[in-house]
Structure 1
């Protein structure tokens, strides 16, 4: 069963936001997810359907995102006389938590109400009018639904809103009398439209939405916002044991509307967190203990079989991440998503664009432009000069300034060697500086004999093993036995196991070196 509160965390480019679609469907339609698990297009279409009907909401936290955006806040507006007033507007989370209001008739852009109030925008949260003088007016759906339900429950009539006698019958109402009375020609007409007339003929309780239908709020980059400020008192209410209906359920009085509020147990929170942006250790402790954390590490196996002019991309990513993990930590590794375009276009120009426009700038940020450590990650210090991505140009101080100027001869200047991105040797050198394009045996077809086994790597990269002339299948378990005997690593830096091709290359290379 899916957790009510969960966060996907990992380095950039590992597919955290990508994973939220499947996580949402696991909550909203697990049967569909199971049936269409192999079709990303089908899953995205189903996800979009839920989003269109309001069962999924998406928001991105940032430094300016606030409690007023998330829970509720005040919005300034002017009435028909031009006087400024403030109304309470629900935020994205409160809107998702509100119970469904029933099968109300919807509004349409272009319709007019009152004396020339024309609808120019409609959403599940708000209706925006253009006033006769050109100013705009926003009416919250929460207020309209409250008015409609008061009419349907026979507490008031639509005419009570017109003649301003409604407040005597709704003594405990949170409606703003100034807003309701100020738009007495607009709001009653809207309510009457919603319920199909004074009697509410279109309203059908039997076919109204179920209140226990799951809802999902996806919070991208959850660690980039000020969590304490955004959640406020709701940080306690999102706990499973504090949700509405639970044994220890709690509710609070919201500061603006003064409504009593609790978080229903059908609302799920799914967050994503980039560990390179902020360390997991610095995450708000109050939030950390209320969420389950799911790591999304780099997955080089998704790049299996992707080869660019002899360079195995899965191995390239694994080697780079191993060096980053040694120099920094696992939180700053590179995600496989950066290299996914190579699956459709496994060409040198595509690889060069990825390195020049994404990988190298990211490394500059990771290492605060410590170019020497960037060189170590790319193995530049062991390559020929022409194949280095980062180089130290030579400079003649005397030629620049003359003999009369004394300048220290320390060479701290670094430059990006642009031509290196267009040379396949530059990428081969990341794996092994001794590899040359003229000697493709390391990545082409080769064969080695060990005891009664023949290990063979085809030109396509496929690994085959024969025992006394008979094929061995499956290959991977035997490869792992051989790797264990010969102390060959079997895991990527992320902890994921090598695939058959990668492990096979490692074992064949070691056995060839032992026999050579």
Structure 2
């Protein structure tokens, strides 16, 4: 399992390398490393400006490695604490920094341990391992960023857990630092084992840790959770259904297998079926129209070519009346491909917004505060548009916005003025139901939400007066965002608000949890009626292996086969259910292909006489007793696979309806069970002549009367006696013998 986790983790790392995310992340850290190196060089050279250079490195605008934020009204940020320590205790700070930076042969862990001992408790308490490690490891970058990158403890701890890597048992700053460096070396080794040329340095490896620190892995399989998966196989891995993927409903005729199949299909697709039969059937029809349910009946001549794929002659496009063979997909392959697809976003528009500086990636103190406020408050805020309240309905026309802006703010403004454009998009064009993507620089995004409210004005000191309510569906705070390449090519524009027309809008689906059907793989169902009537080996071929739940796409033991006609690889998605029905009067379960039996869950559909109580009241016939009596005799004379289902009588409204069901359905079926041995048919019906009539046949002319045993003509009576059903029941409901 550990290897599976590493495989998935490094696949995601490879994506970060290929799309440039790792280079961008590493670039700003290299820049920070240069500023720390400059400060170190100044200190070792006894440059009187060394303290200012150290403070510049600490407060560098791109430094998010030492936390720049404060979490209380009267609390300082970690950066501020370091600056105050240098200002208040210059000599002590110099001595501590020399522990890290001096030119001697000490090991890095010893340098960090000595520095930590001299870091004052009033700056960071002795027990605060994480912020102390942030500072020590950041300043160690001054020796060589590639060899000694900064180590954020929370990021490393989450990565250890994700990959099953042991945590440090040292319990101190120096021990955690040593353990982190050893892990970065191990990460490079694991990448090399998988043929990767990067990460090639510890800084490279640290950028992987930083970029993937919020990646979720299933602890049992090593695969990604639904939030982090971007490909169909990963989404399939996260698909969980309360219903078995492969089910066969079996039982004798008339036990409600058809109704149960309809109900089961709707339950699988929707979770909860409608309350009445008419609505249930209507919903079943809708799902079939959507392509989420397919229906096929197996028969003796049905084969692989119809079910999976086969060659079919088609007219050659060049004309001339010639034919050529082409691969035609079967019903299983068609529904499997549909099941694999994530629902499209449809007509929803996608807008990009910048919450803070649109050019800054990784956040700034000011931008991070605005972003956090928006996420926590469930809204988007716009800084452009001034402190004017645009709520009045007249501002639904962009000309009114332009006119007031010219009058009160900028008489030289054109229609392309940033404030006018931004307010037009935000006030007029944006509407509830739109999807908003929050940029993180030009190449990444860090939040996705659905606009749920209209424009509002709320005066604020920070200038972000314009507001719309949003339901946030996905966001990240403590790390850089996702690459924009998951759903569009190129980069974001710098404008604060603009419409996006991405080439691959479905790439956003995994981030859109909660919008109807978007973002989740929807269950699909293939119904196979009379599944026992076909030659299963002939129909399914090698695909029978793929039916198993742990062999499905994205499962732990996923199996891929190469189809013989198209030569394409094929798997069964984990959201494709197969529901088969089986009439046991045609063929016993015992005679089924054992490979099929092993891969399906079998649910018996038995006769339920008690369901006939209402029909019994309507018709005046004790239908539960009638059904029990006939079934007891059938089980005794044949077996339990050849019983009668309750469905034959369910819709009976009158005694005439019951008679009609007996005459045209029940009695012919019983005769079929006994191969037209009508004496046994009569026995099942009570052993008397109230349903069937027997008349002795006389020898026709030309035949001698004594040519053999007596022969009889059996006929179903045109009218049943008034007490026929009471006589059928008779003493035939005694039940099973105790012997």
Root-mean-square deviation (CA, aligned residues, Å) is 3.0
Match of 2:678 in 1: 371
Match of 2:662 in 1: 355
Match of 2:711 in 1: 412
Q: Does 1:48 align with 2:285?
A: yes
**Residues 410 and 215 of structure 1: is their aligned pair in 2 closer, same or farther, counting only changes over 3 Å?**
same
How does the TM-score come out when normalised to structure 1? 0.59
Match of 1:148 in 2: none
Q: Does 1:219 align with 2:456?
A: no
Counterparts of 2:585 and 2:629 in 1: how far apart (Å)?
Answer: 19
Note the 1:385-464 alignment, pairs <5 A.
Answer: 385=689, 387=690, 389-395=691-697, 405=704, 407-408=706-707, 410-419=709-718, 421-432=719-730
**Residues 310 and 89 of structure 1: is their aligned pair in 2 closer, same or farther, counting only changes over 3 Å?**
closer
CA deviation after TM superposition for structure 1 residue 328, in Å: 0.7
**Residues 61 and 396 of structure 1: is their aligned pair in 2 closer, same or farther, counting only changes over 3 Å?**
closer
Match of 1:259 in 2: 568
Q: Do the aligned partners of 1:390 and 1:414 also contact (CA within 8 Å) in 2?
A: no
**Residues 271 and 393 of structure 1: is their aligned pair in 2 closer, same or farther, counting only changes over 3 Å?**
same
Note the 1:66-465 alignment, pairs <5 A.
Answer: 66-78=303-315, 79-82=317-320, 83-98=322-337, 99-100=340-341, 204-206=505-507, 212-305=521-614, 306-307=616-617, 310-342=620-652, 345-347=653-655, 349-380=656-687, 383=688, 385=689, 387=690, 389-395=691-697, 405=704, 407-408=706-707, 410-419=709-718, 421-432=719-730
Match of 2:164 in 1: none
Match of 2:299 in 1: 62
**Residues 393 and 97 of structure 1: is their aligned pair in 2 closer, same or farther, counting only changes over 3 Å?**
same
**Residues 410 and 315 of structure 1: is their aligned pair in 2 closer, same or farther, counting only changes over 3 Å?**
same
Q: Do the aligned partners of 1:21 and 1:47 also contact (CA within 8 Å) in 2?
A: yes
Q: Do the aligned partners of 2:345 and 2:506 also contact (CA within 8 Å) in 1?
A: no
Per-residue deviation, residues 466-509 of structure 1 (Å, max 9, x unmatched):
xxxxxxxxxxxxxxxxxxxxxx97x899xxxxxxxxxxxxxxxx
The DSSP-based 3-state class of the residue aligned with 2:696 is coil
**Residues 297 and 405 of structure 1: is their aligned pair in 2 closer, same or farther, counting only changes over 3 Å?**
closer
Counterparts of 2:659 and 2:715 in 1: how far apart (Å)?
Answer: 13
CA deviation after TM superposition for structure 1 residue 310, in Å: 4.6
Counterparts of 2:282 and 2:704 in 1: how far apart (Å)?
Answer: 69
CA deviation after TM superposition for structure 1 residue 391, in Å: 3.3
CA deviation after TM superposition for structure 1 residue 101, in Å: 8.1
Q: Do the aligned partners of 1:103 and 1:207 also contact (CA within 8 Å) in 2?
A: no
Counterparts of 2:631 and 2:668 in 1: how far apart (Å)?
Answer: 16
Q: Do the aligned partners of 1:102 and 1:203 also contact (CA within 8 Å) in 2?
A: no
Per-residue deviation, residues 230-250 of structure 1 (Å, max 9, x unmatched):
111000011111111122111
CA deviation after TM superposition for structure 1 residue 426, in Å: 2.3
CA deviation after TM superposition for structure 1 residue 423, in Å: 2.2
Per-residue deviation, residues 289-339 of structure 1 (Å, max 9, x unmatched):
000000010111111141477531111111111110111111110011111
Per-residue deviation, residues 49-71 of structure 1 (Å, max 9, x unmatched):
22211111111111121111111
**Residues 260 and 394 of structure 1: is their aligned pair in 2 closer, same or farther, counting only changes over 3 Å?**
closer
Q: Do the aligned partners of 1:244 and 1:264 also contact (CA within 8 Å) in 2?
A: yes
Q: Do the aligned partners of 2:342 and 2:519 also contact (CA within 8 Å) in 1?
A: no
Match of 1:6 in 2: 247
Runs of 4+ in 1 over 4 A off after TM superposition: 101-105, 200-203, 206-211, 307-310
Of the three residues 9, 17, 23, the one matched with 2:264 is 23
Q: Do the aligned partners of 1:61 and 1:222 also contact (CA within 8 Å) in 2?
A: yes
CA deviation after TM superposition for structure 1 residue 410, in Å: 2.1
Gap regions ≥5 residues in structure 2: 1-241, 347-500, 510-517
Counterparts of 1:424 and 1:307 in 2: how far apart (Å)?
Answer: 17
Match of 2:393 in 1: none
Counterparts of 1:339 and 1:20 in 2: how far apart (Å)?
Answer: 19
Gap regions ≥5 residues in structure 1: 106-199, 435-487, 494-516
Counterparts of 1:289 and 1:101 in 2: how far apart (Å)?
Answer: 31
Q: Do the aligned partners of 1:320 and 1:378 also contact (CA within 8 Å) in 2?
A: yes
Q: Which moved more, 1:46-55 or 1:6-15?
A: 46-55
The DSSP-based 3-state class of the residue aligned with 1:320 is helix
**Residues 75 and 423 of structure 1: is their aligned pair in 2 closer, same or farther, counting only changes over 3 Å?**
same
Counterparts of 1:60 and 1:401 in 2: how far apart (Å)?
Answer: 49
CA deviation after TM superposition for structure 1 residue 207, in Å: 6.8
| Higher relative contact order structure (alpha carbons within 8 Å, sequence separation ≥ 6) | 1
Per-residue deviation, residues 335-364 of structure 1 (Å, max 9, x unmatched):
11111221xx222x2222111111111111
Q: Which has the higher strand share?
A: 1
Q: Do the aligned partners of 2:663 and 2:716 also contact (CA within 8 Å) in 1?
A: no
Larger Rg: 2
CA deviation after TM superposition for structure 1 residue 417, in Å: 4.4
Counterparts of 2:311 and 2:342 in 1: how far apart (Å)?
Answer: 22
Q: Do the aligned partners of 1:243 and 1:263 also contact (CA within 8 Å) in 2?
A: yes
**Residues 251 and 376 of structure 1: is their aligned pair in 2 closer, same or farther, counting only changes over 3 Å?**
same
